[in-house]
Chains A and B, each alone.
Chain A
């Protein structure tokens, strides 16, 4: 099958990639761009290990065609921190023991960053619901709640991050 040329914007950088038309976002970020922080857990949309942000919304990399995110801003775990500065969610997950084996962690972090950018002060129920599409086999999710709370509190007292992502896009589902 001939390859198609895609122009993708990933983590703020432009990439031109030649891929099979059926390549998923997960295939491209891992195998073409070698951004291996995004994990392949079930590859069928069930575990959430492959979660990335597309225009600020959490999306399953394994069930999204790369061709469908042309013109969108794709962000992977590699872009969550700014230089040496960890995102509050990253430090909180590390400090609270919310990451054990770490394999599901990038997916959870992307899901949570999408949550907190829309809902800076989520209720415990909102947090629980928001992460219910990501599976973790190590933690029983318990330490994650503490970590998300801690990160949310820190983010509320700090200047807003992710400036290049406009709030308009984040709330309007610009993924289409």
Chain B
């Protein structure tokens, strides 16, 4: 094959395409988990802990068991209910139900399955749990001290420390000594959560032959498959995971969850299918949202604007369980290595357990909080040194084909183009420091992985001493109807990955999307894929799909050669034909090629896979943050601040994102726009509030997701750096676009009213207090050196 990444003569790739399942969504015919209708289906309800930290003395289920219509009751003593699981094999600390101790208000203690919701609710409420209260640990700072009863038994020194990461490259202190300016501060982050519109839902069902079928709103069916096998003590081949349409995930459906295990335990006990459909409150209590964090940072800068060093320290509040927390602890540091050259770097991260709903992975996992701190401090340094924020970021931008100090391999980068285009589109030079008091404009940049190069299970590790199973495998099947079926376990959660797979298969085969059907919902049908998280799907599953299509094409080329007597390699696939490039008059229809290829063999099968190259250094933690490619962003936000109320209205966001190649531009724009919306929530309005460890606003009225009238005009700018290894040059676009909007808004608020906020959400109250402190009318001045 020629390297088609460099060409622009695509027929499918790069063209706007409606999602292949869009019609199901607009007609309401798509089935989400709660839409399945199964005979004999029972309703499951979970009994949740009312205590933040307590020993379970007794769980009295007798009243529930005696109720008419109750079919099963399970507690932590049920077989399997106490088996430890967790998304990361190195930090399995969850159980389906609390065995002897509850760890947060909302922890799962028992569960019932009943004929209907009314009975199930009454039965769950009838279960009496006797507790012996223990001292809860709610403050992450106190979690670092020895505890009377540590949350997890493995905690070192009796503290609630979960993970410590310390990394240093170069000499930060010496670099700071030699810097023209060093700026730093403490940044604080309230907990935020995914707030997808579809609450978690699961159906578990034992088929008559004893096989377990689990239908669940999941981003990573494979991890659920593994965890379910361990908890239910069944071999994986006796379990089938079905992932129907998913109403948004954003990281919040990427762990294997206790409620999924509970549904299976109930189904086993009841001998009937059981559904657990969450109320909105359950969703908040399950959480796994972005970690509340305290982030201390210092950045040094030379007088010419070159970054000399970065020193960061993170205290990360993990809540009751590990989840993805080990990764979070690394990412808070290592993902600060981009998008700028940072010659000296030091990071110290501590993730602690507290008696709160667990934190986990959320869109932009691990990079978002650090970005707010870094981009804010860069603006401070620019101001101190009289430099222009755009120029400084451009000067420091990581170069293509370079290596960071912690040995990330940088291949493609469109950061400079992102900067140039947002600067122009936002009319920055006319606005920055030049608008009337109360109006401001600000810049923020970003950087994110296109999937993690190193998988979390050794089975998929590329080193020969481990499994070397590719992270993504795609099967393509072409049968007599000459339709192309794509099998993959990449989970479409609304981001459009099914459509992406269809495009990556259709392009090499020269066929329209209407010939392609994508089947990704079933572990029985699909080869393993590590699912939809860490923004990996386009890069990894996309490459696997493309490789599978190319393998299928080879068979069709041979068939075309047989039919025409021309050499196989002279055929290209285009317009539903295999065409001889040396003589375009010689062509075989796709259908004819398929029939010929099936001669003596039957349906065509082809496999493609993706395995990340071996990357990175050999120091401890070198694997964290490695990715075959990185995305880059530059965003500008324009705001109006009401100086009397402190209220901020973001009027416009110009969001330039380098996605390598936009396989489906309208979808890329959608990802950027959605990321901006979600980032604005963390910036301005969203905040999981707690009262003695109990979530105070576990509903969509009090947890403030922006409505249409709160959301600014979003101008997405798609930058295409054409990645050398991405499928058709593509890389991620689903996560990196969240982080930059937060510092962009913060820097814009500073431009508007001279108030520099260091904690999110940046509420009206904080801004008003800031205005009072700096004085009204304190509009920052344009630095002399930055005038254009």
Q: Which residues of A are at the interface with B, using a C-beta cutoff of 8 A?
A: 20, 34-44, 46-47, 49, 76-78, 80-81, 86, 89-91, 93-97, 99-106, 109, 128-129, 131-144
Using A44-B701, A109-B26, A132-B709 as known contacts, list a sample of 8 further A-B pairs with CB atoms less than 8 Å apart, ordered by residue number in A.
Answer: A36-B28, A40-B199, A41-B247, A42-B700, A100-B674, A103-B198, A140-B675, A142-B670
Instruction: Report whether A142 and B18 are in contact in the complex, using a CB–CB cutoff of 8 Å.
Output: no
Residue from the list B22, B37, B196, B711 in contact with A99, Cβ < 8 A: B22
Instruction: Report whether B197 and A47 are in contact in the complex, using a CB–CB cutoff of 8 Å.
Output: yes
Q: Which residues of B are at the interface with A, using a C-beta cutoff of 8 A?
A: 16, 18-19, 21-32, 34-35, 37, 118, 194-199, 245-248, 250, 277, 279-280, 493-496, 666-667, 669-670, 673-678, 699-701, 705, 707-709, 711, 713-714, 716
A59 to chain B, nearest CB (A): 16
Instruction: Report whether B670 and A137 are in contact in the complex, using a CB–CB cutoff of 8 Å.
Output: no
Residue from the list B194, B247, B250, B675 in contact with A39, Cβ < 8 A: B247
Instruction: Report whether B673 and A94 are in contact in the complex, using a CB–CB cutoff of 8 Å.
Output: no
Instruction: Report whether B247 and A37 are in contact in the complex, using a CB–CB cutoff of 8 Å.
Output: no
A76 to chain B, nearest CB (A): 7
- In the bound complex, residues from chain A placing their C-beta under 8 Å from that of B16 are 97
- In the bound complex, residues from chain B placing their C-beta under 8 Å from that of A86 are 23, 26-27
Instruction: Report whether A97 and B28 are in contact in the complex, using a CB–CB cutoff of 8 Å.
Output: no
Residue from the list B27, B707, B713, B716 in contact with A90, Cβ < 8 A: B27
Docked pose: A78 CA to B27 CA in angstroms: 6
Instruction: Report whether B245 and A141 are in contact in the complex, using a CB–CB cutoff of 8 Å.
Output: no
**Which residue, of B25, B29, B676, has the highest number of chain A Cβ atoms within 10 A?**
B25
- In the bound complex, residues from chain B placing their C-beta under 8 Å from that of A35 are 28
- In the bound complex, residues from chain A placing their C-beta under 8 Å from that of B714 are 140, 142
Instruction: Report whether A95 and B18 are in contact in the complex, using a CB–CB cutoff of 8 Å.
Output: yes
B24's nearest neighbour on chain A, judged by CB, is A102
A6 to chain B, nearest CB (A): 18
- In the bound complex, residues from chain B placing their C-beta under 8 Å from that of A39 are 32, 197-198, 247
Docked pose: A95 CA to B19 CA in angstroms: 8
A99 to chain B, nearest CB (A): 4
- In the bound complex, residues from chain A placing their C-beta under 8 Å from that of B673 are 139-140, 142-143
Docked pose: A138 CA to B249 CA in angstroms: 10
B703's nearest neighbour on chain A, judged by CB, is A46
B301 to chain A, nearest CB (A): 34
Q: A93-B26, A103-B32 are in contact. Are A137 and B19 (CB under 8 A)?
A: no
- In the bound complex, residues from chain A placing their C-beta under 8 Å from that of B246 are 101
CB-defined A-B contacts under 8 Å, sample of 6 = A36-B31, A76-B28, A94-B19, A101-B493, A140-B675, A142-B716
Instruction: Report whether A42 and B280 are in contact in the complex, using a CB–CB cutoff of 8 Å.
Output: yes
B680's nearest neighbour on chain A, judged by CB, is A140
- In the bound complex, residues from chain B placing their C-beta under 8 Å from that of A36 are 28, 31-32, 34-35, 37
Instruction: Report whether A41 and B707 are in contact in the complex, using a CB–CB cutoff of 8 Å.
Output: no
A105 to chain B, nearest CB (A): 5
- In the bound complex, residues from chain A placing their C-beta under 8 Å from that of B678 are 137
Instruction: Report whether B24 and A44 are in contact in the complex, using a CB–CB cutoff of 8 Å.
Output: no
Instruction: Report whether B699 and A140 are in contact in the complex, using a CB–CB cutoff of 8 Å.
Output: no
B534 to chain A, nearest CB (A): 19
**Which residue, of A78, A97, A104, has the highest number of chain B Cβ atoms within 10 A?**
A97
B670's nearest neighbour on chain A, judged by CB, is A97
Instruction: Report whether B27 and A81 are in contact in the complex, using a CB–CB cutoff of 8 Å.
Output: yes
Docked pose: A142 CA to B23 CA in angstroms: 19
- In the bound complex, residues from chain B placing their C-beta under 8 Å from that of A78 are 27-29
Docked pose: A150 CA to B759 CA in angstroms: 41
Instruction: Report whether A143 and B666 are in contact in the complex, using a CB–CB cutoff of 8 Å.
Output: yes
Instruction: Report whether B28 and A37 are in contact in the complex, using a CB–CB cutoff of 8 Å.
Output: yes
A93 to chain B, nearest CB (A): 5
Instruction: Report whether A101 and B248 are in contact in the complex, using a CB–CB cutoff of 8 Å.
Output: yes
B707's nearest neighbour on chain A, judged by CB, is A132
Instruction: Report whether A137 and B197 are in contact in the complex, using a CB–CB cutoff of 8 Å.
Output: yes
Give the top 10 A-B pairs by smallest Cβ distance, nearest first. Answer: A37-B28, A101-B494, A102-B25, A103-B247, A140-B677, A77-B28, A94-B22, A140-B673, A36-B35, A90-B26
B712's nearest neighbour on chain A, judged by CB, is A140
- In the bound complex, residues from chain A placing their C-beta under 8 Å from that of B496 are 100
Instruction: Report whether A103 and B248 are in contact in the complex, using a CB–CB cutoff of 8 Å.
Output: yes
- In the bound complex, residues from chain B placing their C-beta under 8 Å from that of A101 are 25, 196-198, 245-248, 493-494
Residue from the list B37, B248, B666, B716 in contact with A96, Cβ < 8 A: B666
Residue from the list A34, A103, A109 in contact with B197, Cβ < 8 A: A103
Docked pose: A90 CA to B26 CA in angstroms: 5
- In the bound complex, residues from chain A placing their C-beta under 8 Å from that of B194 are 137
B681's nearest neighbour on chain A, judged by CB, is A137
Q: A76-B28, A81-B27, A97-B667 are in contact. Are A139 and B705 (CB under 8 A)?
A: no
- In the bound complex, residues from chain B placing their C-beta under 8 Å from that of A139 are 670, 673-674, 677
A122 to chain B, nearest CB (A): 13
Docked pose: A139 CA to B196 CA in angstroms: 12
Q: A42-B280, A139-B673 are in contact. Are A128 and B708 (CB under 8 A)?
A: yes
Instruction: Report whether B700 and A47 are in contact in the complex, using a CB–CB cutoff of 8 Å.
Output: yes
B119 to chain A, nearest CB (A): 12
A92's nearest neighbour on chain B, judged by CB, is B26
- In the bound complex, residues from chain B placing their C-beta under 8 Å from that of A129 are 708-709
B695 to chain A, nearest CB (A): 15
Instruction: Report whether A94 and B18 are in contact in the complex, using a CB–CB cutoff of 8 Å.
Output: yes
